[in-house]
A and B are shown apart, each in its own frame.
Chain A
Amino acid sequence: MNETFSQTIWLVPLYALIGAVLAIPWSPGIIRNTGPRPSGYLNTLMTFIALVHSLLALREVWEQPVQYLSFQWLQAANLSISFDLEISVITISALLLVSGLNFIAQIYAIGYMEMDWGWARFYCLLALFEAGMSTLVLCNSLFFSYVVLEILTLGTYLLIGLWFNQSLVVTGARDAFLTKRVGDLILLMGVVALLPLAGTWNYTELAQWANTTTIDPKVATLLCLALIAGPLGKCAQFPLHLWLDEAMEGPMPGTILRNTIVVSTGAWVLIKLQPVLALSPFASNFMVGIGATTAIGAGLIAIAQIDIKRSLSYSVSAYMGLVFIAVGTQHDVTALRLLFTYAVAMSLLVMSIGGIVLNNITQDLTQYGGLWSRRPISGICFLVGAASLVAFPPLGCFWTLTELASDLWLSRPWLIAVFVIVNGLTAFSLTREFSLIFGGKPKPMTVRSPEGLWALVLPMTFMMGFALHVPILLQQWGLLPQWQDLNLTVVIPLVISTFVGVGAAALIYLNDKIAKPIVLKPKALQDFFAYDLYTAQLYRVTIVFVVGLVSQIIAWCDRYLVDGVINLVGFATIFSGESLKYNTSGNVQSYVLSILLGVGLFIGIACIPFINQLSF
């Protein structure tokens, strides 16, 4: 069988990188006369090439055994670091998802960034992201996954900071970089500690090692916790979740990527590391705990937001929490499937919201209203995205959520409750958003709201079609269970929670009899969730305060103690020179005296041996 495309799959990240480099000349400072649009077209083209390449490669590897490629990257002394690639159906499907979503986001950006001059920078960063994520899904080495994660962290910083003349953008980019960096650094500790233990960074070999190893449980626990910390920050899990909220200051097409795949990069590494993480039951429980806390907490926060982008971003955290639960309970394949269905649904939601935000200027949910009659396409897309995200048969996430829930039914039934709650909360939150945006009467901000340009609507509708076809695709791939195999004890609560969430939200927000804006009886509780558990203040009084205090103390020590000791030497020298010069009295007789004293002293010292010999 011809394997041209699957053997050259490593070209896919390079297409994006070439696009990134080619976009640079259209920066306003270099090509001054033509405007920045060609950079966008070029990158879209490169992404399209990557998409086609991955598609052809997928055809080749379909039902073929997994292949591995390996390039030597560094050979020094006893350390040999190779760049391993895995060519399998899973990696190439992920590649397809990455390049597909990038392609869609880039077309979307052609419409969204219409009135913006920064296309070169924007598309360059999007392409960097695409390259990074393609490398990440292809590479079969923890070390290079880490490398890519760090590059993506830098990319996040730059992409969020695209419009850096806005102060909130600057602080948001800062927080996103630092928060993700902290996680990545702890991940690095785990990565470094893993090499002496396992002797390899190759995921496949790590899995074999994890099956046979008998390391100390404490070591295993610490190692696994360190390995979890990276994805914890990447996936915006508690308590490293604030960055995703602030990252919503960035441009919308970037948000599509961030909410769907960038946060999934952490989950991807987590899924790949699942055999290692299974070494420590404590780490698995920790993951489940973090995932469950985040899922429920973020689900509640999402309901209390009035900023549409932020409301969605907390749903992202919640779903990543579900992925954490899946990995923590050793369901890595299901976690991958959940990532897929989730990414499709969330991209659809963000695209629909982006069109709304672009034409109505405001992002405030309380300023929206009555768009259903004027924006039916966006509305339908939002509905399909929402239905695909929650357990709404027969759309995407229904299958993955129920699959996960039925697998957990016997081992950890209490997690079913988490799933049901999160599903209900997400359903409530999405319906609330839908009702506030599309339902009710038009408000001043939404009186005139035309549907977006073709570049906004086309990718959105295409994605809607794809989302609708996800169940058919899954069935085609043989990933769907038979109807009679469904575990009704978990399916029914999940579906009921969906309908309860949707129904409750629709009842509250589409009902004119209930006064808007809604105020909860304990106002403090509403504020608690609206200000996302006061995380910003929490950071400020804990870690930021401590680090700030310590750095001030260290700066003080450096300035006054360390510098002071050295300066003291100089001062002492100056002082002694200044005081000793008075020896030069200008009086000849004192010089004579000092000469005589010197001679006398010298003679005295010279005579000491003779004096000692004298015996009295």
Chain B
Amino acid sequence: MQLEYFLLLGAALFCIGIYGLVTSRNAVRVLMSIELMLNAVNINLMGFSNYLDPAEIKGQVFTVFVITVAAAEAAVGLAIVLAIYRNRDTIDMEQFNLLKW
């Protein structure tokens, strides 16, 4: 096993997340894509911490923080989606284009 494989996996996951973020019509799936991207970041952090900093493993601490913050962010995100849903009765991203030109 090498660091590069972890990084490639992280990058691939991040790209999948981006694809999902840009193309999804469902707002919840957008949040899910963000989670994917965060997890890709976590893989990076873990990989670096394991191969480059095995002594102090600061990357793992970062990962714990990222997971924590991601959870909070997902909670707030879902709350926002719920708030929009209550108003507009839909969570289709293409229906939320009110703030244009």
A interface residues (Cβ-Cβ under 8 A, vs B): 581-582, 584-589, 592-593, 596
Contact = CB atoms under 8 A, between A and B. Distances in A.
Q: Give 8 closest A-B pairs by Cβ, nearest first.
A: A586-B100, A586-B97, A581-B101, A587-B97, A584-B101, A593-B22, A586-B99, A589-B22
B94 A587 contact: yes
13 contacts: A584-B100, A585-B97, A585-B100, A586-B100, A587-B93, A587-B96, A588-B93, A588-B96, A589-B23, A589-B30, A589-B93, A592-B21, A592-B22
A586 B96 CA distance: 7
Given A589-B23, A589-B93, 20 more contacts: A582-B101, A585-B97, A585-B100, A586-B96, A586-B97, A586-B100, A586-B101, A587-B93, A587-B96, A587-B100, A588-B93, A588-B96, A589-B21, A589-B22, A589-B24, A592-B21, A592-B22, A593-B22, A596-B18, A596-B22
A448 B60 CA distance: 131
B48 to A, nearest CB: 19
Contacts of A587: 93-94, 96-97, 100
A587 B18 CA distance: 15
Interface in B2-39: 18, 21-24, 30
A409 to B, nearest CB: 96
Nearest to B101: A581
A586 B93 CA distance: 10
Contacts of B30: 589
Contacts of A581: 101
A582 B30 CA distance: 24
A581 B30 CA distance: 26
Contacts of B99: 586
Contacts of A585: 97, 100
A211 B24 CA distance: 101
Contacts of A592: 21-22
A584 B21 CA distance: 18
A588 B30 CA distance: 11
Interface in B80-101: 93-94, 96-101
Interface string B61-74: 00000000000000
A530 B85 CA distance: 98
A589 B96 CA distance: 10
B22 A586 contact: no
Contacts of B21: 589, 592
B15 to A, nearest CB: 10
A596 B97 CA distance: 20
A588 to B, nearest CB: 7
B100 to A, nearest CB: 3
Contacts of B18: 596
A593 B23 CA distance: 9
A107 B40 CA distance: 113
A587 B25 CA distance: 11
Contacts of B97: 585-587
Contacts of B100: 584-587
B28 to A, nearest CB: 14
A586 B101 CA distance: 7
Nearest to A580: B101
Interface string B38-58: 000000000000000000000
Contacts of B94: 587
Contacts of A593: 22
A582 B23 CA distance: 19
A312 to B, nearest CB: 80
A592 B21 CA distance: 8
Nearest to B93: A589
Contact of A586 (B23, B24, B98): B98
Of A584, A586, A592, most B-chain CB atoms within 10 Å: A586
A584 B98 CA distance: 11
A456 B18 CA distance: 109
Contacts of A589: 21-24, 30, 93
Contacts of B101: 581-582, 584, 586
Nearest to A593: B22
Nearest to A582: B101
Of A585, A588, A593, most B-chain CB atoms within 10 Å: A588
A110 B23 CA distance: 101
A584 B22 CA distance: 16
A584 B99 CA distance: 8
A329 B42 CA distance: 112
A588 B22 CA distance: 9
B12 to A, nearest CB: 16
Contacts of A586: 96-101
